[in-house]
Amino acid sequence: MPFVISDECISCGACAAECPVSAISEGDSKYVIDADTCISCGACASVCPVSAPQEQ
């Protein structure tokens, strides 16, 4: 299942920098993950300081 970013996101960008397939981009109020591109590797979740990326 692809990861999604919860409302806990503080828009630090750590997840986007870590994503090996560039599935994460800056949204209006938080970062967002493109479900079609996400490979569910968990790299984003491992670097997020507030645990915002979560498996859907």
* C-alpha closest to that of 53 among 39, 33, 37: 33
Residue pair 6/54 in contact (Cβ under 8 Å)? The answer is yes
Helix (H) or strand (E) holding 44: helix 43-47
Q: What predicted TM-score, i.e. pTM, was given to this entire model? A: 0.93
CATH code of domain 3-55: 3.30.70.20
Pairing, β 31-33 against β 3-5: unpaired
Q: Would you state the pLDDT for residue 44? A: 98
Residue pair 10/49 in contact (Cβ under 8 Å)? The answer is yes
Mean pLDDT by 10 residues, the chain (56 residues): 97 98 97 98 98 96
What are the domain boundaries of the chain?
3-55
Q: Would you state the pLDDT for residue 50? A: 98
Rg (CA), the chain: 9
